[in-house]
Copies of this chain bind each other. A is one copy, B any other.
Amino acid sequence: MHTLQAGGKRIRPVFVLLAGKFGNYDIHVMKNVAVALELIHMASLVHDDVIDDADLRRGQPTVKSKWDNKIAMYTGDFVFALAIELMTNIGNPLAHKILANTIVEVSVGEIQQIKDKYRFNQNLRDYLRRIKRKTALLIAVSCQLGAIAADVEESIHKKLYRFGYYVGMSYQIIDDILDFTSTEKELGKPAGGDLLQGNVTAPALYAMENNQIRKEIEKVHEKMEPSEITKIISLIKQSGAIEKSFTLSDLYLQKALAELNGLPVTKAKKTLNDIAKVIGRRKF
């Protein structure tokens, strides 16, 4: 209840339900998929907060800070199991194959993310592969599984998958920008945390194209003084890296919108278009 009431944007269930509108929409079927996808996301956040040693999430204490790492681990396991249980209400075996494969990929991504911490000789491709697994895959699959649960034909559920994938990439890049540009109040957690935690994201990667800034960023370590990290964040913000990151995010947004072109004209299509644009231009 604590984790549920902390809120969130619930974009995964929204995408599930909208994708279902392209087929035989039965809310008693759809809700299983919508809730399952939100729970899988929630379970992964509970586990992520252990890795990131995060005390705040959505402005609320995390499970690991309110209780401890062990409770957080089993809470994640439990919520994850509930999600799988809900999904068993879906008859189509393809839905289970897609979801199971996605969870494997997301898990691999989580281990990769630990390995990549404080590794400053990585490139944009490493970053994109990481955010694909961290965020884009689950949003892509939310769209696809919503469609599959409503018996939508293959060419359309694959289009919805790609739409979700591109929206997810755009979304995560903006999330990573906001970690540099937002205030603690807006984020619901301390700003600049990603870099301090060794999580090398788009703004840092673009900023490192400048050799002098690269040398500063390479000095970042876990126990760095707040004043020093603030200085490095200022350098990154002044380097033009934020603007380049927004351009990258927008590229994915445009690809997402292009995927919608081939879909039948429905109210759901218009809504997906509107949501994608809001996500691609959000400021917090």
CB within 8 Å of B: which residues of A?
Answer: 47, 50-51, 69-71, 73-78, 80-82, 84-85, 87-88, 91, 93, 96-97, 100-101, 103-104, 106-108, 110-111, 114
Contact = CB atoms under 8 A, between A and B. Distances in A.
Contact of A107 (B51, B77, B114): B77
A81 B107 contact: yes
Contact of A111 (B47, B78, B91): B78
B73 A100 contact: no
Given A69-B69, A82-B104, A84-B84, A74 B51 contact: yes
Contacts of A91: 93
B73 A50 contact: yes
Contacts of A78: 104, 107-108, 110-111
B81 A104 contact: yes
A97 B107 contact: no
B47 A73 contact: yes
13 contacts: A47-B73, A47-B77, A50-B73, A73-B76, A75-B111, A77-B110, A78-B111, A81-B103, A84-B103, A85-B97, A85-B100, A85-B103, A96-B96
Given A73-B73, A81-B100, 7 more contacts: A76-B77, A80-B80, A84-B84, A84-B100, A84-B103, A85-B101, A88-B96
A80 B51 CA distance: 18
A50 B51 CA distance: 14
A110 B79 CA distance: 13
A120 to B, nearest CB: 21
B104 A70 contact: no
A71 B50 CA distance: 11
Contact of A93 (B69, B75, B88, B114): B88
A70 B51 contact: yes
Contacts of A110: 74, 77-78
Nearest to A78: B107
Contacts of A74: 47, 51, 107, 110-111, 114
B104 A71 contact: no
Given A70-B114, A96-B96, A104 B75 contact: no
A101 B87 CA distance: 11
A88 B97 contact: yes
B107 A85 contact: no
Nearest to A91: B93
A278 B113 CA distance: 45
Nearest to A83: B100
Contacts of A51: 70, 73-74
Contacts of A88: 93, 96-97, 100
